[in-house]
Amino acid sequence: MENSTTTTASTTTTTVYKIKQLVDNGSSVTLSLSEDVELETVSQQQMILEAVDRTVTDDEVKQQIKPLLEAILKSQPQTVIKTYPKTLIQITMPKRRYEMMGNPQVGNTLQVDIRK
């Protein structure tokens, strides 16, 4: 969902955000946005095995450790992880600018470019 393009003078990151809250106080509108990310479940067992693969560089040691580690982990209750530290943005803008954007509502997505 996230793509980055680099130019000579600056770096641009474009990310899609979902509108979670909208506050209209008459003259301005405040949008609360949350990064729109699809998550897939990952088991704690899978994360541990991947960490061992990255950490242990000797293939012979990996072959000795993996069966033992898998046996230990299979006897443990499975914990499924489905979290991700999402980026949150709050934008306050004049109501006219909000209307020129097409009056996006809660649940709609917006594309945000951040440039350096």
What φ, ψ does residue 51 adopt, rounded to 5°? -65, -40
Task: Write the pLDDT tens digit of every residue in 33-86.
Answer: 998 876 666 777 888 888 888 888 888 988 888 888 888 888 877 777 666 667
Q: What is the value of pTM for the model shown?
A: 0.53
Helix (H, G, I), strand (E, B) or coil at 28: strand
What span, in angstroms and rounded, lies between the C-alpha atoms of 112 and 77? 41
Handedness of CA 95, 99, 102, 107 (dihedral sign): positive
Domains, in order of start, for the chain:
1-38+84-116 (2.40.50), 40-83 (no CATH)
Structure tokens of 106? 């809660």
- pLDDT per residue over 48-62, tens digit each? 888 888 888 888 988
